[in-house]
Chain A
């Protein structure tokens, strides 16, 4: 049994390190492409005449978001984009609070279209918006997010490639100030890095709700949004990938989102995300280890699934070890009393167990720190603070098992996590 666990430990570690190295190698292979893309603002000069800009509708599905929706709309109104080419469609999904009255004051803006429908869930609001829009491109912005003024300008050039079905932005946490916020800030910056690399690999499996832009024709080819275990943005990306549409990333298009401010809300959000991922991946299992779906099928989806299993396994393993240690200590104290022996905490290097796993773990940690740092660099937004990386590394490993376990439990019960 001990051998089986050892073999599992080492092979898992090898697989995870391989994945991290793979992302780094891909980065090095594509570094010239990134530096080329850095110069995008001048690239947009090719769109010199206004007629070259495609028409875009940004959907804002709202449900009881009276406090944040205004800021979202204001940020959209400030977008640098020809006004006659940009429509902002607010779809009120049957809010029961004051949201409708808040958005009604934008009634006389020519760019803004207001729609109200019966409550049916976010995906129904999106489908309603898609059905009622007439533009070439269509995107969405959740009412808890705001866009950088140049975000759309950075995204649109990527559609020059006719195979591109969707473009994802870089997500950042808005004004991270709490420990929880800073932790998410580091996490999102790592997400910026990962999304860019996955874009190169044709392997993005989420088109984030905040400001992913789609070619409208895509929806008539692959169909509308589905309930998809409350992670419709993940399912849509998988569906696009299944139809071999390209999803690329515009790393300089920045969207600021309000991360959950309490541990409980964060937990709820992540249970929804992780559970949604697992269940959608099960629904799309035909893609896993299928070379037809390239890197996504052969590496990225398997890694994402496997890492959940491995994390839970390691957690259980360390938990059992901890219990065993506590039990032994308890036994000893019972026998010979509490004895604080200062010699037990000797600094003799001899007594420190420097295992292979620890060394490899250290290498992985360096790669993670690099990914976060690089993510910060990619967006070009000044973020010199590094303390968030510490919070992320220390806290995330402690709290992420909470939602991983709940998600697996929910999956086994075939239960979808609620939105709020």
Chain B
């Protein structure tokens, strides 16, 4: 052991093979990921197409039958589907860190248009038929412009969950969409006033708590009342059935 021991040289082949295997793993993972994302986008698109079809169908129905047929017009077109769409879009928004995804922007624009169309249809319905939908227009912006919008979103989500009857149309003011800009200017909402909520004819700017908001919509009290009445009725029905049963036995 007098001569200096020799170390095995680096085997660069192993490094290169390992590099390619690792690259392959990453490429497959990216592939699977974009495949799933593509499916998600396609899913949203198909829901939106369905809604578009439904709206077009109602409009046509409305035009065909004019005033005579208020009964036949389905007023629940959007509520379910548009709610699930809103959930998915907000999820996509939350998980798309970094730059705005072009696909997402497109979907949001389309969604905004559908909302506006539904809003107009509802307005027409309410004028011609004896039908008073509770509609809320909500304008929001990103964190830099509107730090309170996150909280306003929480309040409105809560409202939508408690009162599915309320139709909440939410609009991202950052979207460059002429129809949306028009809607905004009709309601005289400027960027500095976000978050802004339009209930009926009232324009409310700045953050409002859940209770504040509830006070602004007197119709909700009526809904609450019918709900409690219904509950009571059910209860008394149950008790009468029970008393009848008791008598029989």
Interface residues of A (CB under 8 A from B): 2-3, 6, 14, 17-18, 21-22, 25-26, 29, 162-163, 165, 201-202, 215, 217, 243-246, 291, 293-295, 298-299, 328, 331-332, 335-336, 339, 341, 350-351, 353-356, 359-360, 363
Which residues of chain A are near B155, meaning CB under 8 Å? 335-336
CB distance from A357 to the nearest CB of B (A): 8
Q: List B1-35 residues whose CB lies under 8 Å from chain A.
A: 1, 4-10, 14-15, 17-19, 21-22, 25-26, 28-30, 32-33
Whether A350 pairs with B43 at a CB distance below 8 angstroms is: yes
Which residues of chain B are near A336, meaning CB under 8 Å? 154-155, 157-158, 210
Which residues of chain B are near A294, meaning CB under 8 Å? 7-10
Whether B6 pairs with A21 at a CB distance below 8 angstroms is: no
Residue of B14, B36, B97 touching A6 (CB-CB under 8 A): B97
Whether A21 pairs with B1 at a CB distance below 8 angstroms is: no
Whether B209 pairs with A17 at a CB distance below 8 angstroms is: no
Which residues of chain B are near A14, meaning CB under 8 Å? 22, 26
Whether B33 pairs with A163 at a CB distance below 8 angstroms is: no
Whether B88 pairs with A350 at a CB distance below 8 angstroms is: yes
CB distance from B87 to the nearest CB of A (A): 8
Residue of A6, A22, A331, A339 touching B98 (CB-CB under 8 A): A6
Contact A26-B33, Cβ < 8 Å, known A163-B5, A335-B210: no
Closest 8 CB pairs of A and B: A359-B29, A336-B158, A163-B5, A22-B18, A18-B22, A356-B29, A21-B18, A356-B33
A291-B28 Cα distance, complex, nearest whole Å = 32
Residue B161 at the chain A interface, CB threshold 8 Å:
yes
Whether A295 pairs with B98 at a CB distance below 8 angstroms is: no
Nearest to B10 among chain A residues (CB) is: A294
CB distance from B161 to the nearest CB of A (A): 6
Which residues of chain B are near A17, meaning CB under 8 Å? 22, 25-26
Residue B80 at the chain A interface, CB threshold 8 Å:
no
B: number of interface residues (CB 8 Å): 40
Nearest to A243 among chain B residues (CB) is: B5
Whether A21 pairs with B21 at a CB distance below 8 angstroms is: yes
A217-B1 Cα distance, complex, nearest whole Å = 9
Contact A246-B5, Cβ < 8 Å, known A298-B10, A355-B33: yes
A180-B154 Cα distance, complex, nearest whole Å = 43
Whether A25 pairs with B32 at a CB distance below 8 angstroms is: no
Residue of A25, A162, A332, A339 touching B17 (CB-CB under 8 A): A25
CB distance from A2 to the nearest CB of B (A): 5
Whether B26 pairs with A360 at a CB distance below 8 angstroms is: yes
Nearest to A215 among chain B residues (CB) is: B1
Residue B151 at the chain A interface, CB threshold 8 Å:
yes
Whether B209 pairs with A2 at a CB distance below 8 angstroms is: no
A353-B87 Cα distance, complex, nearest whole Å = 14
A2-B97 Cα distance, complex, nearest whole Å = 8
Can you name 25 A-B residue pairings with CB atoms under 8 Å? Answer: A2-B97, A2-B98, A6-B97, A6-B98, A21-B18, A21-B22, A21-B25, A26-B14, A163-B6, A202-B7, A215-B1, A217-B1, A244-B5, A244-B7, A246-B7, A293-B7, A294-B7, A299-B15, A336-B155, A336-B157, A339-B158, A341-B161, A354-B33, A355-B33, A360-B29
Whether A356 pairs with B161 at a CB distance below 8 angstroms is: no
Residue of A245, A331, A359 touching B151 (CB-CB under 8 A): A331
A88-B118 Cα distance, complex, nearest whole Å = 90
Residue B95 at the chain A interface, CB threshold 8 Å:
yes
Nearest to B14 among chain A residues (CB) is: A25
Which residues of chain B are near A246, meaning CB under 8 Å? 5, 7
CB distance from A405 to the nearest CB of B (A): 26
A50-B150 Cα distance, complex, nearest whole Å = 82
CB distance from B206 to the nearest CB of A (A): 14
A71-B98 Cα distance, complex, nearest whole Å = 60
Whether B5 pairs with A165 at a CB distance below 8 angstroms is: yes
Residue of B15, B21, B30 touching A356 (CB-CB under 8 A): B30
A202-B32 Cα distance, complex, nearest whole Å = 38
Whether B5 pairs with A350 at a CB distance below 8 angstroms is: no
Whether B14 pairs with A359 at a CB distance below 8 angstroms is: no
A351-B91 Cα distance, complex, nearest whole Å = 7
Q: Of A29, A328, A354, which is in contact with the most chain B CB atoms at under 10 Å from its CB?
A: A354
Which residues of chain A are near B15, meaning CB under 8 Å? 22, 299
Which residues of chain B are near A354, meaning CB under 8 Å? 32-33, 36
Which residues of chain A are near B88, meaning CB under 8 Å? 350-351
A332-B5 Cα distance, complex, nearest whole Å = 67
Q: Using an 8 Å CB-CB cutoff, how does the interface string of B169-210 with A read, 1 for contact, 0 for none?
A: 000000000000000000000000000000000000000011
Whether A335 pairs with B209 at a CB distance below 8 angstroms is: yes
A244-B6, A298-B10, A355-B33 given; 17 more Cβ-contact pairs under 8 Å = A3-B98, A21-B18, A25-B21, A29-B14, A162-B5, A163-B5, A165-B5, A201-B8, A202-B7, A246-B7, A335-B158, A335-B209, A336-B154, A336-B210, A351-B87, A354-B33, A363-B29
Residue B232 at the chain A interface, CB threshold 8 Å:
no
Whether A18 pairs with B5 at a CB distance below 8 angstroms is: no
Residue B40 at the chain A interface, CB threshold 8 Å:
yes
CB distance from A120 to the nearest CB of B (A): 30
CB distance from A395 to the nearest CB of B (A): 26
Whether B32 pairs with A335 at a CB distance below 8 angstroms is: no
Which residues of chain A are near B28, meaning CB under 8 Å? 359
A363-B32 Cα distance, complex, nearest whole Å = 13
Whether B209 pairs with A360 at a CB distance below 8 angstroms is: no
Whether A356 pairs with B26 at a CB distance below 8 angstroms is: yes
Residue of B19, B33, B40, B158 touching A350 (CB-CB under 8 A): B40
Which residues of chain B are near A328, meaning CB under 8 Å? 150
Nearest to B94 among chain A residues (CB) is: A353
A165-B1 Cα distance, complex, nearest whole Å = 10
